Structure 1
Amino acid sequence: MAEHRDDRPIVWFDIDNTLYSASSKISQAMGERIHAYFVSMGFSHEEASELHLKYYTQYGLALRGLTRHHDVDPLDFDKKCDGSLPLEEMIKPNPKLRKLFEDIDRSRVRVWALTNAYKTHAERVLRILKLDDLVEGLIYCDYAEPNFSCKPEPEYYIKALEKAGVTDPARCYFVDDNRGNVVAAIRLGWGHCVQFSEHGLEVVEGGRVKQIDNENLSDEKKSGSDVPVIADLQQLRDVWPEIFKPEV
């Protein structure tokens, strides 16, 4: 729970494939490790691919399915997958991104991170990107908690608000590269939501390579949610001008 009441709205940033570019290929490296984990459990490569996609599609996170349907230690999974990534070689600090965070007016809003990763991975990425001192709070998937929740499950967002002491979700700002995660937040009343999407780059979702295509959003539009899309986090200065310090 929040230590004290703070009525400032919160700007929630997703971490992976949002605070760094998908061109880093971290999602591909992660997909390979998750596939290898399935295979180490005795599944064939074909079965591993099918289950990986099934669990990602059904739960938003492959590990969520593994913990529900198999005797898997999520902390062991995290160590062999996220924890084994050579992140220091794959991502570097971005001075323009740090300046963006510095320009957010902390007298008006708080800045938190909201991720489906475990705490150690999230903190590691923020530290490498040199943003850890500019993020006031972190909501992560607590793999040590039985039956943990993750985006886009409603329980995850509800717990995030509780931990941050937020009473009015309409005052939340949220940016995530996964459209489903953004739509889920909108359905729960989060007032200012944006999808970060790098057109033309490839990511791995559910073990399958997917090209990011901002021009073909027909399936998502059928949900009835008109989600603003940005290709550069700097565009937040125009989308959410009220959260930034006045220009001098």
Structure 2
Amino acid sequence: MSLETNNTTVKPALKKTISIDDYKEESPDRKLIDMINHIHSVQSFENLLDLTSDWKLKDHQIDSIKYNGLTTYERLMSLVLLPSNAESRNEYAYIIKNQLERNNQHLQSILNTSPGTTINEKIIFGNPTPCSKVFLFDIDNCLYSKKLNIHMLMQIFIRKYFQYILKLDSYDVAKKLNEKYYKQYGLAIKGLINEHPDLKIDPIEYNSFVDDALPLHEIIKPDLELRETLLKIRKSGKFEKMWLFTNAYKSHALRCIVLLGIADLFDGLTFCDYEMVKELSCKPDPSCYLKMSKQVGLIGNTLEEKLQNCYFIDDSLRNLEMGVNLNMKNCILIDQDVTEPYLIEANEKGKTINVVGSFSDLETVFSDLF
């Protein structure tokens, strides 16, 4: 399409396009990564505070309010510095128990106090009514920004759990094992279960010690701009359902959308069901997309037919590549470091993945949805 202006043809600016092999995911805050990766070598809590004295709590959205004499940041660092012995493992379990209580108290205090903190009952009870058009939303680093560094906090909790359950001598060993299992299995818990069957690891306990123990209410705040964009999509009538599609367990997913103030805007949730240990599947495994299609109630004889009218936004290129391969209509990569939307050429010929920096960019890239 071109525009005629004073007998001059003006062509719309072409969106930048890159090869999928050229896409380089931006690393999270380098200073934060370096700090976490070297915490295990710090000999005392006092030295740790000196080492990181220039690390600004507010820059990372972690408050400086003291609880039992410690800020959130100090509590996290104390957790990492616990040595690996029987006494410390008991202390670790006690710390997690207290954090879970604080998290739950806060959640209960805000539930149902506004539309955005009221969970749509369809999410709780399921909503498999037949449909053909759905917008799928990832949660972590997608509905909330990766710049909150929640992923890095997750790594602290995951590695500490590795130390705890496997009785590892150091945080560094736990870190390397975590990275290995993530690359091999896509989820740390899958690696723990598959590689250590003798321990009979309880994935629900794992979730409690990791995702559920995160002090999310001190980091995630209601996002009115996000809510406005989601409401516009919902009111457009272009989709029969707006659906959450996450690799997290349901408790973490629900807590995130309540804290963001968008819990009433979704029609369902497909999550990684930690209770189904032997059938644990996650994105980008095709079986996870099949499970989602059944839970959504998508119409079609094949998975490709079911997904042909789906829009899917995620922060993981791997997950979106699978969406492209399975014939999704539009796959959208959200990367908060992006200042101008562009396209990635998918490996499947003729197909692309849109890259946006925020949900507000969707109004520009997909103006027909608003």
Is TM-score (shorter-chain normalized) higher than 0.5? Answer: yes
Question: Is residue 2:211 matched to residue 1:78?
Answer: no
Kindly indicate whether the alpha-carbon contact (under 8 Å) linking 1:18 and 1:177 is maintained by their aligned counterparts in 2. Answer: yes
Show the 5 A alignment for 1:1-248: 2-7=127-132, 9-40=133-164, 41-43=166-168, 44-70=170-196, 71-106=200-235, 107-109=237-239, 110-147=241-278, 148-167=280-299, 168-199=306-337, 223=347, 226-244=352-370
CA distance in 1, matches of 2:368, 2:345: 27
**Change in CA separation of 1:134 and 1:227 when aligned onto 2, cut-off 3 Å:** same
Q: Which has the higher contact order (CA 8 A, sep 6+)?
A: 1
Q: CA deviation at 1:221?
A: 6.4
Kindly indicate whether the alpha-carbon contact (under 8 Å) linking 2:127 and 2:268 is maintained by their aligned counterparts in 1. Answer: no
**Change in CA separation of 1:196 and 1:3 when aligned onto 2, cut-off 3 Å:** closer
TM-score (norm. length: structure 1): 0.84
Structure 1 unaligned segments of length 5 or more: list them.
201-213
Structure 2 counterpart of 1:211: none
Q: CA deviation at 1:2?
A: 4.5
Higher helix share: 2
TM-score (norm. length: structure 2): 0.58
RMSD: 2.2
Q: Percent sequence identity over matched residues?
A: 34
CA distance in 2, matches of 1:177, 1:128: 19
Structure with the greater alpha carbon radius of gyration: 2
CA distance in 1, matches of 2:145, 2:320: 18
CA distance in 2, matches of 1:64, 1:177: 21
**3-state SS of 1:12 partner:** strand
Counterpart residue identity of residue 194, structure 1: I
Q: CA deviation at 1:179?
A: 0.8
Q: CA deviation at 1:222?
A: 8.3
Q: Write out per-residue CA displacement over residues 64-101 of structure 1, whole angstroms, 9 at most, x where no aligned residue.
A: 21122223110000000001111111010111110001
CA distance in 1, matches of 2:312, 2:234: 16
Kindly indicate whether the alpha-carbon contact (under 8 Å) linking 2:324 and 2:346 is maintained by their aligned counterparts in 1. Answer: no
Counterpart residue identity of residue 30, structure 1: M
User: May I ask how many residue pairs the two structures share in their alignment?
Assistant: 227
Divergent runs of 4+, >6 A: none
CA distance in 2, matches of 1:222, 1:94: 31
CA distance in 2, matches of 1:119, 1:231: 26
